[in-house]
Structure 1
Amino acid sequence: MALRLLLTLLLLTAVILITQAQGIGNLGTDCCLKYSEKSISGIRATSYNLQDSESGCLLRAVVFTTKKNKKICASPTDPAVQKLMQDVDKKFRKDKKKAQPPRYRGRPKRQKQRRV
């Protein structure tokens, strides 16, 4: 009787541990289930992410984030989507250049000394 109870408890513990271990890999990421039907050309995207099977999602998509922090799912094979991705990349590079201090080329000019 005690052996039967012990085996039942061990089996129940094993089942609980296995189900918890399967949930560890799932971080609860939001996945696109379908592509947006709205036109991509009119949105003002600030960034984008690529979604694929490696991120744990079934649908391969480009997820744009707008200035109002909305997420828009789009097909990565659509030419308008690829153009918008390039525009976001260009804007990111331009903003990154603005953040850097100006570089001096050559020797700095000598300042005139003031007479007191």
Structure 2
Amino acid sequence: MASHAAALLAISLLILWTSHAQSGTNDAEDCCLFVSKRPIPANRVQSFRYILLQHGCQVPAVVFTTLRGHQLCAPPEMPWVQRLVLRLKRNAAKSKLS
């Protein structure tokens, strides 16, 4: 009986450990399932962040946050995305100076 309880405890601990070890810094909700290739108006975007394959996501993306708080996923290799990221970086640098 005691060995049965010890085996159950060991299995439970193993399951808990593996489920905890598999969870990375990003959960599934932090990843984009798809990206939109349609340009986003620059005047509606307030910030951005990168979601990369190294973060455990299957789709690399730039996530733009709009003034209303919506998050839109865009492909990082598109020229309009790169221009918008550059513009947001310049605006952030200007606001730090003032």
TM-score (norm 1): 0.67
Where 1:76 maps in the other structure, the secondary structure is coil
Where 2:65 maps in the other structure, the secondary structure is strand
Where 1:32 maps in the other structure, the secondary structure is coil
Q: Does 1:30 align with 2:51?
A: no
Give the partner amino acid of 1:9: L
Give the partner amino acid of 1:18: W
Work out the percentage of aligned pairs sharing the same amino acid. Answer: 32
Length, aligned pairs only: 97
- In the other structure, the counterpart of 1:97 is 97
- In the other structure, the counterpart of 1:79 is 79
How far off its partner does 1:37 sit? 4.5
Q: Report matched runs for 1:32-51 at 5 Å.
A: 32-41=32-41, 44-51=44-51
- In the other structure, the counterpart of 2:59 is 59
User: RMSD value over aligned CA atoms?
Assistant: 2.4
Higher helix residue share: 2
**Unaligned 5+ residue runs, structure 1?**
99-116
TM-score (norm 2): 0.77
